[in-house]
Amino acid sequence: MQTIPLAIQTLFSELEQRSYDADFTEQFDHRGQFRKKKRHNKFYWYFTYRDGGKVVDKYVGPVADAQIADRVRRFSELKHDFDQR
């Protein structure tokens, strides 16, 4: 069995990560903001934005999920990267 060179493995991994990040940033407008909310004694991320005169909260995921927490933390950077692509 032939092994895949490290450079190709790295490239694929980066492409996969960028794909996940792009999917995340595509779902949320830069004019909103992420907020932690407590529900049933657990904390969750919600994205809050205005739709006309109405405030909308969109569920994002549990605060305990490290990948979601990282994307929330890096949202402005990811959004800029997404806009550049």
What digits encode the pLDDT tens for the residues 17-62? 777 766 666 677 767 888 999 999 999 999 998 888 899 999 999 9
Structure tokens at 73: 């933390």
Please report which residue ranges of 1-85 form alpha helices under DSSP H. Answer: 6-26, 66-73, 75-84
Find out whether 47 and 60 touch, Cβ atoms under 8 Å.
yes
The SS3 call for residue 76 is helix
Categorize the per-residue pLDDT at 63 as very low, low, confident or very high, splitting at 50, 70 and 90.
very high
- Integer Cα distance of 18 and 13 in angstroms: 9
Q: Which pLDDT score is estimated for 55?
A: 92
